[in-house]
Amino acid sequence: MKFEARKIRLIMQLRKQGITNTSVLSAIEKVPREKFIPKNFIDQAYENSALPIEEGQTISQPFIVAFMTQALTLERNSKVLEIGTGSGYQSAVLSQICRRIFTIERFKSLLKIAQSKFSISNIHNIVTKHGDGHLGWPEQAPFNRIIVTAASKSVPKNLFLQLSDNGIMIIPLEDEHKNQKIYFIKKINKKIYKEPLISVRFVPLVDGKN
């Protein structure tokens, strides 16, 4: 089966799994996932599963990418910050929906690969930064939307501060039993409103850059 046919099958699976937002589905349709994974896994590009990338990290499962993107309730004008660029796939999906995407990764090597994937995919509205995502991007704050794609024990303080009022953050949080859930966070009058969504398995959000 060619990539196109596999992609259509994946989109149908995502619909069945509750991804109904048409701009999210069309973003998934537009981004060539096969370009964002290591060559030896290309056959699995449109399987609904996470895959290993360089530096022992992972490219998230398409359903999780779609679910988190849908939960962000994006608008064309949303200014979005992503923590954990990894393969760059999630950023690429976001870049189809919003005009300005900012993404931070702690591995310089991964960032370089992701940047080359953006340019070969003709994506020019993603700005990248090498650093510790816990610190956010103060020069670019505030952000209307923040998406964290690595699991944290709590909501990083700086990220919450850099969220605009009525801003939304989607983040996997890990409890004391190492169970992880994606949370929907909203900032209302500087206060936090928090709601668990689904159980997940992400690599950890670690301190410092590499």
Q: Measured from the CB atom, is 134 or 187 closer to ligand SAH?
A: 134
Angle at 182 between CA 60 and CA 206, to 5 degrees: 65
Q: Measured from the CB atom, is 57 or 162 closer to ligand SAH?
A: 57
Q: Would you put residue 136 in left (φ > 0), alpha (ψ -120 to 50) or beta?
A: left
Q: How far apart are CA 30 and CA 171, in angstroms?
A: 24
- Pick the piece of the chain touching ligand SAH (CB under 6 A) from 101-109, 138-146, 164-172, 175-183: 101-109
Q: Are 88 and 107 in contact (CB under 8 A)?
A: no
Q: Cβ of residue 171: shortest distance to ligand SAH, in angstroms?
A: 12
- Strand duo 180-188 + 191-200: pairing: antiparallel
Query: Which entry of 23, 60, 91, 199 is annotated as an active-site residue?
Result: 60
Residue 95 catalytic?
no
70 lies in the binding site for ligand SAH (CB under 6 A): no
Q: Which residue is nearest to ligand SAH (CB)?
A: 86
Which residues are registered as beta bridge partners of 186? 168, 193
Instruction: Please give the residue ranges that form the binding site for ligand SAH (CB under 6 A).
Output: 57-60, 83-84, 86-87, 89-90, 104-107, 110, 132-134, 149-150, 203, 205-206
